[in-house]
């Protein structure tokens, strides 16, 4: 890996460009830069009773709220996490997560099926058969993330 640093006092903020022959390496580097920018978000710990584990974003199917708590849903079950749902975005910004309603953020890599037949919403089936519903407010952002938006043509 090559690293080049340029000091330019005319810049308002730092600029990082990542050039990589491999998208996985680019995602790892992006996550490392994001972790450096948000140091508190570098590691996310999930707790369940007396157990605790460090969560890997690729293993998380979704984040959701229940009551006043936020949970990370993995193949191993539910893990309670400390950050609020709105703060989870910093931790997952280098991964394909999208907020589907006010209480859920879903990992698009774990979506196995989309049901578009429901009027005004989309039903998502996750890899563990959990069903999630996209709110009308989040519909356009989810469609954009999934590449389902159509471009207008002016004929």
Is residue 35 over pLDDT 70? no
pLDDT in tens, 53-103: 888 888 999 999 999 999 999 998 999 998 888 888 777 777 889 999 999
Distances from the Cα of 37 to the Cαs of 12, 49, 88, 90, 109, in angstroms?
15, 31, 14, 9, 25
From CA 82, how far away is CA 18, in angstroms rounded?
A: 31
Q: Average pLDDT for residues 20-28, to the nearest whole number? A: 75
Domain boundaries along the sequence of the chain: 45-146
Q: Average pLDDT for residues 127-131, to the nearest whole number? A: 93
Is residue 17 over pLDDT 60? yes
**Sequence-ordered list of residues with C-beta below 8 angstroms from that of 67, at least 6 positions apart, any chain:** none
E strands along 21-108, which residues?
44-48, 51-55, 60-66, 69-74, 77-81, 97-101, 104-107
Q: Does domain 45-146 have CATH number 3.40.50.620?
A: no
Give the percent of the chain with pLDDT over 70: 86
CA angle 53, 59, 64 (to 5 degrees): 80
CA-CA-CA-CA dihedral for 86, 61, 36, 40, to nearest 10? 50
pLDDT of residue 155: 54
Distances from the Cα of 25 to the Cαs of 28, 57, 89, 128, in angstroms?
5, 15, 20, 27
pLDDT of residue 74: 93
Provide the whole-model pTM: 0.67
The lowest-confidence range among 18-22, 27-31, 73-77, 113-117 is 27-31
Largest CA distance in the chain: 63
pLDDT of residue 95: 80
**Which is more confidently placed, 62 or 20?**
62
């Amino acid at each position: 890996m090559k690293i080049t640093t340029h000091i330019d006092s005319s810049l308002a903020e730092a600029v990082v460009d990542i050039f990589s022959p491999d998208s996985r390496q680019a995602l790892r580097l992006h996550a490392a830069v994001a972790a450096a920018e948000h140091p508190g978000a570098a590691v996310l710990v999930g707790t369940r009773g007396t157990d605790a584990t460090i969560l890997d974003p690729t293993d998380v199917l979704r984040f959701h709220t229940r009551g006043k708590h936020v949970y990370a849903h993995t193949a191993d079950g539910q893990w309670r996490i400390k950050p609020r749902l709105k703060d989870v975005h910093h931790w997952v910004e280098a991964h394909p997560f999208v907020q589907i309603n006010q209480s859920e953020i879903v990992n698009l890599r774990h979506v196995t099926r989309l049901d578009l037949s429901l009027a005004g919403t989309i039903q998502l089936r996750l890899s563990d058969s959990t069903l999630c519903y996209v709110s009308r407010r989040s519909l356009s952002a989810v469609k954009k993330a999934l590449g389902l938006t159509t471009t207008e043509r002016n004929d």
